[in-house]
Amino acid sequence: MPPIPSGRKPNPTLRWALMLIGVIVIFGGVFAFKAMFAAKTNAFFDNMPQPPATVSSATAQAQRWSDAGESVGTLVAINGTDVTTEAGGVVSRIEFEAGQPVRAGTVLVRLNTANEDATLKALETSARLAEVQAQRWQQLGKDKLVSLDDVQQRTAAAASARAQVEAQRALIAQKTIRAPFSGVLGIRKINLGQYLAPGAPIVSLQQLDPIYLDFSMPEQLIGTLVEGNMVQASVDAVPGKVFEGKVTAVEPLVDASTRNFKSQATLRNPDGALRPGSFAKVKFDLGSERDVVVIPQTAVSFNPYGNAVFVIGKQARTPGEADMQGKPLTGDKLVVTQRFIKTGATRGDLIAVTDGLKPGEQVVTSGLLKLRNGAEVTINNQVQPSADAKPSIENR
């Protein structure tokens, strides 16, 4: 019987090739489907209408500002000192109250002068005797009974006795301490019966009206800040009140370490609200005026690479543009454009723009963080940030 022919032998290489092609087709289809789905999703979100951001706005205004400067200073009494004594002694009477105003020449303290008074009486007696003797010897000299030298010696002795009396009276006067100028006394530093050495402080005396204000300025303002310029000062102790005065002195020397020069203004202080040693904020005009464009400071994004604002403008809508609910939108829309500007001086809540903005242009004053270039906005000015050139703090 003839042999039965066997079947075709299997090809492993072809089998593995077909399996690999199948895997590639399946995974390729899955990835292609995911890529197409992601592309359509991104396209949907990219073209999805965004709701407009609600912001507040302000219009850039043209104003005329005078060049101004600011500094900080210290109030200094025109006359201020610790009252002391020239001669030592024991305190016998204190004739002032702490904190009271006094006039120049008012007696403040008396020291014990019992020994000095007794010495004065003895010196006055010697002076009278020397005067009588001098007059007698002068008469004898006219009669040629004594020499001219004897007469001059007696006259000199009388003059010396009178000088000793005046010196003793001056010593006694030194033990009566008086106010050297009008002002307000501080807290006394002595007690009854206390021995005071020469130069020991008794009480502080400060003249409060008028009062000096010392402040420093950069050397670039030399020749600009001159005597007669008006200044305005404010202190934390009297919030909301501005004190006005004039520059009365300008230091000709520039400090080599700080490159600043000192100036001094004189302020009226009739009620004594300003006290020596207090810190003061100083503002002053430099005379010249110029036109500036002014906007609120909240409209400016201050960045290391430059300051910018969002300018509001109108833009025509594209045909078929709809809102989030699919309703068609008509009319122009408000969009913002970021613009870099150059800023200048500030005054209260306002800031001057020296370049990049024109009067009448509208800028965003709040909601800047949620904006991007070309974003659509709606304006709601019911609540706006403060934009006052002279803001005041409200106590609550």
Q: Is 334 exposed, middle or buried (0-12, 13-18, 19+ CB in 10 A)?
A: middle
pLDDT digits (tens, 9 = 90+) for 226-273: 888 888 898 988 888 889 989 999 988 898 888 889 999 999 988 888
Given 2.60.120.560, 3.30.1490.190, 2.40.30.170, 3.40.50.970, which CATH number is that of 69-78+206-289? Answer: 2.40.30.170
Q: Tell me which DSSP letter residue 87 carries.
A: S
The DSSP bridge partners found for residue 364 are: 57
pLDDT digits (tens, 9 = 90+) for 289-316: 778 899 999 989 988 888 999 999 887 7
What residue ranges do the domains of the chain occupy? 53-65+291-379, 69-78+206-289, 89-111+177-204, 113-174
**Residue closest to 190 by CA, chosen among 89, 105, 81:** 89
pLDDT digits (tens, 9 = 90+) for 153-196: 778 887 888 888 888 888 888 888 999 999 999 999 989 999 98
Phi, psi for residue 6 in degrees, rounded to 5: -80, 160
For the 113-174 domain, the top CATH level (class) is: mainly alpha
**Residue closest to 195 by CA, chosen among 287, 350, 88:** 88
Cα 295 to Cα 218: distance, rounded to the nearest angstrom: 27
Please give the helix or strand (H or E) that residue 139 lies within, else none.
Answer: helix 114-142
Phi, psi for residue 298 in degrees, rounded to 5: -70, -15
pTM above 0.75, yes or no: no
Does residue 49 have a pLDDT over 50? yes
CATH number, domain 53-65+291-379: 2.40.420.20
What's the number of CA atoms in the CB half-sphere (13 Å) around residue 309?
A: 30
H, E, C per residue of 218-277 = EHHHCCCCCCCCEEEEECCCCCCCCEEEEEEEEEEEECCCCCEEEEEEEECCCCCCCCCC
CATH number, domain 89-111+177-204: 2.40.50.100
- For tokens 């408000």, the residue is 334
8 Å CB contact between 72 and 281: yes
**What is the total residue count of the chain?**
396
pLDDT digits (tens, 9 = 90+) for 309-344: 999 988 777 665 655 555 656 567 888 899 999 988
Q: At what angle do helices 148-174 and 114-142 cross, to 10 degrees?
A: 160
